[in-house]
A = this chain, B = another copy of it.
Amino acid sequence: MQKQFTYPFAAIVGQENMKLALILNIINPLISGVLIRGEKGTAKSTAVRALADILPLIEVIDGDPFQLPPGADRSLYRDYGFDNGTETVIRRKVRVVELPVGATEDRVVGTMDLERALKHGEQRFEPGLLAAAHRGILYVDEVNLLDDHVVDVLLDAAAMGINTVEREGISFSHPARFTLVGTMNPEEGELRPQLLDRFGLCVNVTGIQDTMDRVAVMERRIAFERDPEQFCAEWEAESAALRERIVAAQALHPQVTAKRDKLVAIAERCKEFDVDGHRADIITLKTAKALAAWDGRTAVNDEDVQRAVELVLPHRMRRLPFEEIGEVRA
């Protein structure tokens, strides 16, 4: 099949909050994902798919279905032929794995490989989407329409960082740490609060109202469809700049610190907005630190806290009529 070109992330007109939320999760995947809510036709899916373009590289062993780091203990994975000292280490982009709305549990968690069992007389675990998404991004479009059972499986894996499958008396585990990105159109039904709470950040997107921006949307789209290769080439400089800034922020991030007064400020904002439990506090803190790194700083400042609060708290406030999610300014 011919090479597929993806619309460049940098060429998306407007939608700054959405783009920022995605980037913050790349800087620190422990922010626990982002939920993008918005009306039809607002480039939600385009943005997530475009992420692949600006994601950093990771090292894996060529063909490893579990995407472990080259130095990892892989004694449990000998059946897959990756423990014989002859592996090739490659560097490739972080993956965006898309979870189809109709995916079965088997497809998500993996299953026992019956064909192999019949042919070779031995069972082997056949990895699913959770294995493919390890160290990457798991994208669920129309996340509000996902089967409840699959949602449970997803959240279990996301919470534990491990996927454990037990079938016919055999148990198999592999790491599954991924950034969960969901998109949804609230006209088609809301997420239940339990699931809403598991997304670290939430942004609302709406259509652009500025006429010339709308013209730009049309012009860029038509140009991309006419000649995708050429269009991507034209935006390569901007894309490269974004990639470099992300890599720099990732490198800086471990050194970012937040003074206790910033933590106190976060705790007080969360109490003030009466959010459930403590997840909001912790994610706000992580988001503020990622914002500092994105800005090239190593100390969280008040503005970082304020912006983080805006991304973390709105979808967690109690008794809020759903239409107003995200409308609240902190």
Q: Are B282 and A1 in contact (CB under 8 A)?
A: no
Give a binary string over A215-247; 1 marks a CB under 8 Å from any B CB, 0 the rest. Answer: 101110110010000000000000000000000
Any chain B CB within 8 A of the CB of A329?
A: no
Q: How far is the CA of A162 from the CA of B214 in the complex (A)?
A: 28
Q: Are B168 and A115 in contact (CB under 8 A)?
A: yes
Q: Are B42 and A271 in contact (CB under 8 A)?
A: no
B residues less than 8 Å from A87 (CB atoms) = none
Q: Are B40 and A193 in contact (CB under 8 A)?
A: yes
Any chain B CB within 8 A of the CB of A264?
A: yes
Q: How far is the CA of A38 from the CA of B175 in the complex (A)?
A: 29
Q: How large is the interface on A (under 10, 10 to 19, 20 to 34, 35 or more residues)?
A: 35 or more
Q: A73-B2, A102-B152, A211-B271 are in contact. Are A277 and B222 (CB under 8 A)?
A: no
B residues less than 8 Å from A53 (CB atoms) = none
Q: How far is the CA of A211 from the CA of B270 in the complex (A)?
A: 10
Q: Are B264 and A215 in contact (CB under 8 A)?
A: yes
Q: How far is the CA of A2 from the CA of B174 in the complex (A)?
A: 10
Any chain B CB within 8 A of the CB of A86?
A: no
Q: Which residue of B lies closest to A280 (CB)?
A: B41
Tell me the minimal C-beta distance from A28 to chain B in angstroms: 10
Which residues in window 156-209 of A have CB below 8 A to B?
156, 159, 162, 166, 168-169, 173-175, 185, 187-188, 192-194, 197, 207-209
Copies of this chain assembled into the complex: 6
Q: Are A169 and B113 in contact (CB under 8 A)?
A: yes
Q: Are B41 and A276 in contact (CB under 8 A)?
A: yes
Q: Which of B2, B145, B156, B281 contacts A218 (CB 8 A)?
A: B281
Q: How far is the CA of A162 from the CA of B3 in the complex (A)?
A: 12
Q: A115-B168, A152-B102, A214-B270 are in contact. Are A278 and B43 (CB under 8 A)?
A: yes
Q: How far is the CA of A273 from the CA of B149 in the complex (A)?
A: 39
Q: Which of B76, B142, B267, B286 contacts A1 (CB 8 A)?
A: B76
Q: Which of B4, B145, B185, B209 contacts A162 (CB 8 A)?
A: B4
Q: Which of B1, B40, B149, B279 contacts A73 (CB 8 A)?
A: B1
B residues less than 8 Å from A295 (CB atoms) = none
Q: Are B218 and A174 in contact (CB under 8 A)?
A: no
Q: How far is the CA of A248 from the CA of B138 in the complex (A)?
A: 45
Q: Are B214 and A271 in contact (CB under 8 A)?
A: yes
Q: How far is the CA of A278 from the CA of B2 in the complex (A)?
A: 28
Q: A193-B187, A215-B263 are in contact. Are A221 and B282 (CB under 8 A)?
A: yes
Q: Which of B1, B113, B194 contacts A175 (CB 8 A)?
A: B1
Q: Are A188 and B197 in contact (CB under 8 A)?
A: no
B residues less than 8 Å from A225 (CB atoms) = 30
B residues less than 8 Å from A38 (CB atoms) = 277
B residues less than 8 Å from A105 (CB atoms) = 102
Any chain B CB within 8 A of the CB of A266?
A: yes
Which residues in window 4-60 of A have CB below 8 A to B?
4, 30, 38-43, 45
17 new A-B contacts, CB < 8 A, other than A1-B73, A215-B263, are: A42-B277, A45-B159, A101-B149, A102-B105, A102-B152, A107-B166, A115-B168, A126-B168, A142-B194, A207-B275, A207-B278, A211-B267, A212-B264, A214-B267, A217-B278, A222-B285, A222-B286
